Amino acid sequence: MPIPDDLRSLLEAPSTCYLATLMPDGSPQVTQTWVDTDGDAVLINTVQTHQKVRNVRRDPRVALTVTDREHPSRYVQVRGRVRRIVAEGAVDHIERLAHKYLGRPYPWWGGRDQVRLILEIEPLHISGPG
């Protein structure tokens, strides 16, 4: 599914994003995260040891909400699936996200020995108010 312009503009801005994954018992697990796009997929950068990675390796179905930080009533919801988990380029990607969200290099919370990953999410259903 192509990413519509209203979602693309939120993904390219330093928007607030909440990502929901599924725990082994089927219950939801929600994480606030930085978000990006490559024009085709929604991109989430994370650490290999985080719960969301274990969840999407087992069940790739996800949902997320991307909200305009300046106008919280402007948001887009996405249901989709993680089509790939990629390590290559993930360190450069987190640095780009840090500049987008913080205006400076990534502070490396947790240390530089962590393995960064990019979750490539294929949107299957997109909706929002209006």
Q: For residues 73-96, give the mean pLDDT.
A: 96
pLDDT band at 124 (very low <50, low <70, confident <90, very high): very high
Q: Position of tokens 């909200």?
A: 67
Number of domains in the chain: 1
Range of 92's domain? 5-125
Mean pLDDT of the chain: 94
Q: Is the CB of residue 90 less than 8 Å from the CB of residue 39?
A: no
- The pLDDT assigned to 93 comes to 97
Residue 39 counted as domain residue: yes
- The pLDDT assigned to 110 comes to 72
Residue 130 counted as domain residue: no
DSSP result, 22-91: E-TTS-EEEEEE--EE-SSSEEEEEETTSHHHHHHHH--EEEEEEE-SS-TT-EEEEEEEEEEEE-TTHH
Q: For residues 67-80, give the mean pLDDT.
A: 93
Residue 105 counted as domain residue: yes
- The pLDDT assigned to 82 comes to 98
Residue 35 counted as domain residue: yes
The angle subtended at Cα 24 by Cα 77 and Cα 114, nearest 5°, is 80
Render pLDDT for 35-64 as a digit per residue (tens, 0 to 9): 999 999 999 999 999 999 999 999 999 999
Residue 50 counted as domain residue: yes
Higher pLDDT, 110 or 24: 24
130 has a pLDDT exceeding 80:
no
Distant-in-sequence, close-in-space partners of 92: CB < 8 Å, separation ≥ 6: none
Query: pTM of the prediction?
Result: 0.93
Residue 82 counted as domain residue: yes
Residue 85 counted as domain residue: yes
d(CA 76, CA 119): 19
